Amino acid sequence: MPRAFWLPLLLTAFLLAACSGPLQAPQVESIEFDGYEATIELADVSVSALHAVQCGDAVTLLVTLHAGRLFGAEYAFYLPLHEFWNGDLVLFAHGYLPPSLEPGFPEELPEELVQLQCFLLGQGFALGASSYAANGYAVQEGMRDTHLLNALFRWHTHLEPARTYLVGQSMGALIAVGLVETFPHRYDGALPICGPVGGSLLQLSYVGHVRVLAGYFFPTLFPGAPFTEPAIPHTDFAAFADTVAWHAFSNPDALRKLASIRQPGSDLLVPGGVPLLPGRGDEELTQSLISALYYYVVGIQDVLARGGGVPFGNRLVTYVGSELTPLETLRLNRSVARVRADPRALLYWTLWYQPSGQLRRPVISLHTALDPDVPVLHEAAYAQLVARAGAGDRLVTVVTPAYGHCNFDLEREVGPAFLGLTQWAQTGIRPQLPLP
């Protein structure tokens, strides 16, 4: 699972110097940005200071660090020294983090994200990110807190970027798409990576289908009714994953049948439809099942609370799979748990967020073909939305044949895609595939 995109922060040397007693009101400053209003408490803002970013054994990048808190979200900016800044800003939107984890910066940054950060800073871009005010499927908070980074960067640095780009990973990719669609006057392009760009409802439906089908093929795995189970803390998920692996190992035929079922409605986007679980062999199929169920067992109660109900329905769905006989198909559809979607939840997750496809800025979207967390079907769904909106010339989709979630190589895939995006924004010339 990808972690958030942060560096360890030491918020020191606070600016609040005038507060002489506990009864004195804190010093504040208000900002308004595209309809968002926020109050910055100066006690939550750190002094600008030089900061060393270690990029390998032999390379250290010096930047100016600005950091603080807003709406309970931590944020940080890394600004190359004046002579090295190219004048552009990149805002990074991080992916899903379990709701049982406290919001804020993690202690360590995964190596692949250290490489991405070093790449962007090494190219001369300023970089900003927010922890979001909440974890879980926090698209609503993520869009607000990432968008407000625009105002916070100007407030801290008194600088106006020449261009601003969005890079989002996993759930953050949907946030990036939502922002570039909603505020095209603020952004010059977006690079969504391995994200649910087809929309929250498509992603939550995927998780829901995996849950009800796992309950059918492995009855003892989920003894209760769908969407009624309490959430499992993310710290306890390893034990649940071992249980899933044991079921799959004990009944590989059931695993293969489950995996072969076509995602409902996918035949409208891809000829023949898309199998529910990706994988080349039982080991990858087992990992795919575990990965998809992670979002259900860890995050389902967060999803229900946010949307005010169940965002998934399968009462009219007919499940079919290449590994099922006609009789097995009949039995499955007679016995599988049926769920009715709540209109309130459908409305909430449409707002947060169903892409429109109405692009006015260039977008390059990356995905692996065998992604068990966020199915590659999202790319076909978003491409169709963009085409229907008449904006097909503003989208480039890159699908690599790898297995895994966000399993990309920086030098061969992510780096060239981002530089292709910036060249597209600057020249207006759509990059050709494959990207150089």
Question: Rounded to a whole number, what is the distance in angstroms from the first to the last CA of the chain?
Answer: 28
| pLDDT digit string, tens, across residues 90-137 | 999 999 999 999 999 888 888 888 899 999 999 999 999 999 999 999
Domain positions in the chain are 28-197+356-427, 200-348
- Residue 77 β-bridge partners: 66, 128
Rama region for 387: left / alpha / beta (φ>0; ψ in -120 to 50; rest): alpha
Share of the chain above pLDDT 70, in %: 93
Average pLDDT over residues 300-323: 98
Spatial distance between the Cα atoms of 102 and 359, rounded to a whole number of angstroms = 34
Give the count of beta carbons closer than 10 Å to the beta carbon of residue 225: 11
pLDDT class of 16 with cuts at 50, 70, 90: very low
Pick from 186, 139, 195: which is nearest to 167 by CA? Answer: 195
- 335-345 pLDDT, tens digit per residue, is 999 999 999 99
What are the backbone dihedrals phi and psi of residue 275, each rounded to the nearest 5 degrees, phi first?
Answer: -60, 150
Pick from 85, 103, 109, 181: nearest CA to 142: 103
Is there a contact between 413 and 428 (Cβ–Cβ < 8 Å)?
Answer: no
Look at residue 15 and give its three-state secondary structure.
coil
CB 60 within 8 A of CB 104: no
Cβ burial, residue 110 (10 Å; 0-12/13-18/19+):
middle
> Could you report the per-residue pLDDT of 370-420, keeping only the tens digit for each?
999 999 999 999 999 999 999 999 999 999 999 999 999 999 999 999 999
Tokens 């759930």 found at: 171
Architecture of domain 28-197+356-427: 3-Layer(aba) Sandwich (3.40)
Tell me the pairing of strands 73-80 and 126-130.
Answer: antiparallel
Whether the predicted pLDDT of 13 surpasses 60: no
Mean pLDDT of 306-325: 98
For 283, the token pair is: 């080991």
Residue 5 has pLDDT above 50, yes or no: no
Pairing verdict, β 189-193 and 363-370 = parallel
Q: Return the pLDDT at 321.
A: 97
pLDDT per residue as tens digits for the range 386-399: 999 999 999 999 99
- 3-class secondary-structure state, position 229: coil
Task: Give dist(CA 95, CA 139) in Å, integer.
Answer: 10
Q: Which tens digits make up the pLDDT trace of 55-72? A: 988 899 999 999 999 999
What does the pLDDT look like over 142-152, one tens digit per residue?
999 999 999 99
**263-273 tens-digit pLDDT:** 999 999 999 99
Please give the pLDDT value at position 105: 86
Strands 163-169 and 189-193, by their bridges, are: parallel
- At position 147, the amino acid (one-letter code) is H
Angle of the 252-260 helix axis to the 237-250 helix axis, nearest 10? 100
In this structure, are residues 413 and 349 in contact, taking their beta carbons and an 8 Å threshold? no
Per-residue pLDDT, 432: 83
Q: Is the pLDDT of residue 19 over 60?
A: no
* Integer angstrom CA distances of residue 392 from 174, 361, 384, 412: 18, 11, 9, 25
Question: DSSP secondary structure string, 212-225?
Answer: HHHHHHSTTT--S-
Instruction: Tell which wins on pLDDT, 290 or 13.
Output: 290
Average pLDDT, integer, range 292-299 = 97
Please state which of the ranges 3-7, 72-76, 223-227 shows the lowest mean pLDDT.
Answer: 3-7
pLDDT score recorded for residue 426: 97
SS3 70: strand
pLDDT band at 24 (very low <50, low <70, confident <90, very high): low
Supply the pLDDT for residue 436.
Answer: 58
Which pLDDT score, from 0 to 100, does residue 176 have? 98
**Helix, strand, or coil (residue 312):** coil
Q: What share of the chain is helix, strand, coil (3-state, %, to 5)?
A: 40, 20, 40
Q: Which amino acid is at 247?
A: H
- State yes or no: pLDDT of 4 exceeds 50: no
Buried b (16+ CB within 10 A) or exposed e, 404-422: bbbebeeeebbbbbbebbb
Judge whether 150 and 36 are in contact, CB under 8 Å.
no
What's phi and psi for 253, nearest 5 deg?
A: -65, -40
Q: Closest Cα to residue 226, out of 134, 350, 315, 334?
A: 315
pLDDT band at 3 (very low <50, low <70, confident <90, very high): very low
Alpha helices in 72-170 (DSSP H): 111-122, 139-147, 149-157
Taking residues 354-364, what's their average pLDDT? Answer: 98
pLDDT score recorded for residue 181: 98
- The chain-wide mean pLDDT, for the chain, equals 92
pLDDT at 11 exceeding the cut of 50? no
